[in-house]
Amino acid sequence: MDGAKMDQMLKVRMEEVERILKTYLPDVSGMQRTVLEAMEYSVLAGGKRLRPIMMLESYRIFGGNERVIEPFAAALEMIHTYSLVHDDLPAMDNDQYRRGKLTTHAKYGEAMGILAGDALLTYAFETAAKAFALTFDAARVGRAMQVLARKAGIYGMLGGQVIDVESEGKPGMTLEKITRIHTLKTAALIESSLMIGAILAGAKEEQICQMEQVARNVGIAFQIQDDILDVTSTQEVLGKPIGSDAKNEKVTYLTLQGMEASVAEVNRLSDEAVSLLEQLAGDTAFLEALVRMLTVRKK
């Protein structure tokens, strides 16, 4: 797929996600208006919308064509956004800018930053539950809810964040531990996106597992590339401060393996992900191109 066509397809899909998000975000009104405003600010501050785009694409690959996927796409981006809001807090990374804008706590204060993250996580599951009214197959929605909860929680993203926080500034970081952190902290939500799309479309069990592996490869590659950009990019291009890892004395895949090996690993993981996608019967061209794009992204 050539670059111009890919850019156009990505633009269309991002617009679709923006429409879905605006549909499912709560109205900014009432006595709790400030937290609602902070939620909207956080979600609509920009971003690649990678996870909901991948969820929608997985759903299409397996023949899905109903609105039942939409509440899950919105919920997943809410969960991803909450994790960023909390990552930026003073107790965590203490970042003032993200996507070229003030972080939520920098704009609304630390207390409201915490509450906005809490609100997004809670409201995400209220949103996902709306899928029950959009389908006759409640079992699929129930399983999708279970996957979303597990991949976001202690056995997924949150668990990875715990290991990451407890490892900072301490000796003994190994490649195995870093890979585990990446698998949970970054890959888990991407796994949920491809798995939920497949589940709601009625894919077979082996196909759901296949999509989970594709997403795991993509997630680990994405995080290694993120670590590379933290060293090689600029704040203007990246939209957030660079050098955070060095500032926090954080050991990364790049720290242990070096630039050449890190780039090679991103490419290897991406190649494996594309190979798995090529084995599927559906139209995987866009998703394959998206995986490839992640290996050369600059922001």
Q: In b/e form, how buried is each residue of 44-71, taking b as 16+ CB within 10 angstroms?
A: ebebbbbbbbbbbbbbbbbebeeebbbb
Helix 110-128 to helix 69-87 angle (10° resolution) is 160
Q: Domain 3-294 classified CATH 1.10.600.10?
A: yes
- pLDDT in the model for residue 125: 98
| pLDDT tens digit sequence for 11-37 | 999 999 999 999 999 999 999 999 999
Angstrom distance (rounded) from CA 223 to CA 229: 10
**Alpha-helical runs (H) found in 153-203:** 157-167, 175-181, 188-201
Q: Please, what's the b/e burial string for 257-276 (b: 16 or more CB within 10 A of its CB; e: otherwise)?
A: beeeebbebbeebbebbbeb
Closest C-alpha to 15, from 72, 53, 59, 55: 53
Question: What span, in angstroms and rounded, lies between the C-alpha atoms of 83 and 85?
Answer: 6
Taken in order 63, 49, 297, 232, is the CA torsion positive or negative? negative
Over its length of 299 residues, how does the chain's per-residue pLDDT go in tens digits?
Answer: 777 899 999 999 999 999 999 999 999 999 999 999 999 999 999 888 999 999 999 999 999 999 999 999 999 999 999 999 999 999 998 999 988 899 999 999 999 999 999 999 999 999 999 999 999 999 999 999 999 999 999 999 999 999 998 988 888 889 999 999 999 999 999 999 999 999 999 999 999 999 999 999 999 999 999 888 888 754 554 555 554 555 556 788 998 999 999 999 999 999 999 999 999 999 999 999 999 888 776 66
For the record, the structure tokens of 160 come out as: 């990875």
Helix or strand (DSSP H, E) at 33:
helix 33-43
pLDDT reported for residue 278: 96
CA angle centred on 97, ends 104 and 218, rounded to 5°? 95
| pLDDT of 237 | 47
Closest CA to 194 of 9, 56, 22: 56
Query: Residue 182 has which token pair?
Result: 């990446």
Q: Residue 141 and residue 28: Cα distance in Å, rounded?
A: 28
Please give the Cα distance from 122 to 32 (Å, whole number): 15
For residue 250, what are the contacts with CB-CB under 8 A and spacing of at least 6?
Answer: 168, 169, 244
d(CA 108, CA 266): 37
Q: Where is 123: in which H helix or E strand?
A: helix 110-128
Residue 299 is predicted with a pLDDT of 60
Q: 233 in helix, strand or coil?
A: coil
Q: Give the CA count within 13 Å in the CB-facing half-sphere of 194.
A: 26
Cα 199 from chain centroid (whole Å): 18
Within 8 A by CB and 6+ apart from 243, the residues are 230, 231
Please state the domain extents for the chain. Answer: 3-294
